Structure 1
Amino acid sequence: MPPPTTSITHALDLADARHWTRQPPATPAARLRHLLHTQPPDKLATRLFVYPTTLARWADGDLTGLNPTHTVLIDREIHRGWQPRIRWRAHQQILAHHGCVTVQLHARFSYTTPNGEFDDPRLRRITEDLPPMHARHLFDARHADTTDDELRCILADAVGEAYFFRILPPDQQQAALTISDLHLIQFHY
């Protein structure tokens, strides 16, 4: 089971890792060589909060100055971009079979209704299957490399439909749901 995270993007990447056909490089230097082969050095350096010359030095095997924070960031970058075609194919197969995507989250929510906005102070633990339409939107947004805030809005709509508003009659006005405080999230598919 993947470790819990508060980033929706990273949680999707960890769930995608179960569909990999081969494992990514294991050492930080090998991972950086792969990342430098697939991304421009300036963009990668910005994402890892280092200078491009430092990346080149680390990729050559001189790991002085590589701290645990950088190792975690390198690991996230590998998960983010490893085997994109395999990831896309797995998502298409999941969606072709009614989009069975399960989300487990621990979060606080707020609701916007015609009468105003209401914060729910309870920390809820929810495990729910997402509606196929929302699973498709989530995957499409992930492939478009959207921000975590946009993914959070898509997920809030999905959880709202699947968990909070499923018993309301179709003609009744529904509230808009917002994830106000996300403590952990995991996807299973």
Structure 2
Amino acid sequence: MPHPSTSVAEALDIADARHWTRRPPVLPATRLRHLLRHQDAADLAPRLFAYPDAVTRWAAGETDGLTPAHTTLIEREIYRTWQPDVRHRAHQQILHHSGCVTVQLHARFTYTTSCGEFPDPRLRCLTEDLPAVHARALFDARHRNADEDTLRSILADGMGEAYFFRALPADQQQAAVAISDLHFVQFHY
């Protein structure tokens, strides 16, 4: 699945894959059997845009109706759920040993101040190290399966502190930063 991502959750999952201690299954049927051991077909099916009966059939090896789009969605689910203990342990080690969480993104931002909201039409290409407090909040939100808007908000706050307001003292940082249009995001840790 390592491909350019426009989703913060997916980008975190791809970065977490670098810490896996063993590879996930490769075949869609094997991947589905693994996923179905941890969740019900009725819960998994909506995330795969399929019916529960189809998911059960595909896990049994009958690939009728299994499209490349379904295969990609199955792969995303594997990346999202594979080795959660290893993922959590890696996050803790990064945070407790002054590890660096670097984010590279291409995005447009909106700034909110006491005077109003100001969208910036420029597509910014930034690479910054997230402050530890924002990296911790991002990891915690991902462990809680927070929605994409929450993850983007945490990332925007971190980018605001790391890039936009880094030259200002904390008492003068009166603006808020929001990601209005995310074209690419990638994490390294």
Q: TM-score if structure 2 supplies the norm length?
A: 0.98
SS class of match (1:127):
strand
Deviations 1:79-111 (A, max 9, x none): 000000000000000001124100000000000
Deviations 1:43-89 (A, max 9, x none): 10011111111011100111111111111100000000000000000
Name the amino acid aligned to 1:151. L
Number of residues paired by the alignment?
189
Which letter maps to 1:161?
E
Asked whether the equivalents of residues 99 and 131 of structure 1 are also in contact (C-alpha less than 8 Å), the reply is no
Contact 2:4 2:184 (8 Å CA) reproduced: yes
**Equivalent-residue separation in structure 2 for 1:158 and 1:44 (angstroms):** 32
Query: Contact conserved, 1:165 with 1:174, CA < 8 A, in 2?
Result: no
What RMSD in Å do the two structures reach over aligned CA positions?
1.1
> Residues 17-166 of structure 1: matches in 2 within 5 Å?
17-166=17-166
- Post-superposition Cα deviations, 1:127-149, rounded to whole Å, max 9, x if no partner, equal 00000010000000000110011
Question: Partner amino acid for 2:51?
Answer: Y
TM superposition shift of 1:171? 2.7
Give structure 1 regions of 4+ aligned residues with deviation exceeding 6 angstroms.
Answer: none
Give, as a single letter, the amino acid of the residue that structure 1 aligns with 2:140. Answer: D
Alignment identity in percent? 68
8 Å contact from structure 2 (residues 8, 185) kept in 1 = yes
